[in-house]
Structure formats: C-alpha cells, structure tokens
C-alpha cells in the first residue's frame, strides 16, 4: 500500500463505501508486529479456542496473503502465539487478523509481519483441530469473504471486494 493511507483510500472511494464494496472494521484491534502497514488477499478461518488450523495455515506459503481468523472474540485464551507468527513471517504472509487473543507479544512484536488482535492473553488454546476453512467470517462487525482484500495501517482496517489500485 506504499504511501497511501486507509483514510486516503476512503476519501478517494466514496462510491465503494456506499455500495458496500469497501468496508471498515470496527476500531477494536490492537496493533502487534513490526509491520504496521500491510495489505493482501484474504484467507478466512473460523475457530473457537483452538489453534491447530491456524498453525496449519501459517505453515503454508503465504504469498503476501492475510489470514483472517474469526476466533469468536474469545478472551479466555490466545489462539495465536509467537512460534506461528515467526513461521508466518518466514513463509511470506503479509498479515494476520485475529478476532480473539494472541500471546508471546514481545516475540510477535519482533517479527516483520502485521498482526491485529483484540488483546493478549497468557493461556494457550486447545489442540483439537476443529474449525472451518475458507468460509465467510464475521470480524470487527463486518462479514469478510475468502478472496477479498485487506488494507491495514495505524488508522484502521479496510476490506475490499477487489484489489484496489492505490
């Protein structure tokens, strides 16, 4: 997204906002990781207090994608920790957005990747492998579909039905 901010994207695309093709997530996310600005095509995952599928996704090549995880907004445990984030960084993921909690914050903050989550929590998730891949998820008050685009910076997070030429 180079030097164009999410605010500038919104200002330049009022018609996309009115049509619902460009949406802003509610401002509920904390910023983690060294990459404060990131964008990429979305891969969706729905889990609840279980991180097996999160880890499986991040073991794949990211190719600049953004993993959007609907963790049910649980604040009872972390579904993303330092080791998977290091792996995501090394595998070329642009970012991870978690509707839930993270842990190992110091380790995550040392990684060159963008991470957004509701909060941090010291307890780890269960390991049952239960969840749904590539399904519509509800995150930050917005329904997000596999293949849409995320644009994130320190002002917020935008979701677009298509890649924007910014």
Quote the CA–CA distance of 144 and 134 in Å, as a whole number: 10
Q: What is the dihedral of CA 112, 147, 104, 116, to 10 degrees?
A: 80
All residues at 6 or more sequence positions from 130 whose CB lies less than 8 Å from its CB, including other chains: 47, 48, 50, 52, 53
Pick from 132, 47, 60: nearest CA to 91: 60
List binding-site positions: 81-84, 103-104
Binding residue positions for Mg(2+)? 104
Between CA 163 and CA 13 the distance in angstroms is 13
Decide: helix, strand or coil at residue 88.
helix
Residues in the annotated binding site for substrate: 81-84, 103
């Amino acid at each position: 997204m180079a030097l164009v901010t999410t605010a500038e994207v919104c200002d330049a695309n009022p018609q996309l906002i009115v049509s619902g093709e460009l949406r802003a997530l509610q401002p509920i996310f904390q910023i983690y990781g060294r990459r404060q600005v990131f964008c990429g095509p979305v891969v969706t995952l729905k889990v609840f207090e279980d991180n097996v599928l999160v880890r499986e996704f991040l073991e794949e090549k990211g190719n600049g994608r953004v993993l959007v995880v609907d963790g049910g907004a649980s604040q009872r445990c972390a579904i993303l920790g330092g080791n998977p984030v290091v792996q995501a960084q090394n595998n070329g993921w642009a970012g991870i957005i978690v509707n839930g909690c993270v842990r190992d914050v110091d380790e995550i903050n040392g990684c060159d990747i963008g991470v957004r989550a509701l909060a941090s929590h010291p307890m780890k998730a269960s390991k049952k492998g239960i969840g749904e891949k590539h399904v519509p998820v509800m995150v930050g008050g917005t329904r997000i579909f596999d293949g849409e685009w995320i644009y994130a910076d320190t002002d917020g997070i935008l979701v677009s039905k298509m890649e924007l030429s910014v």
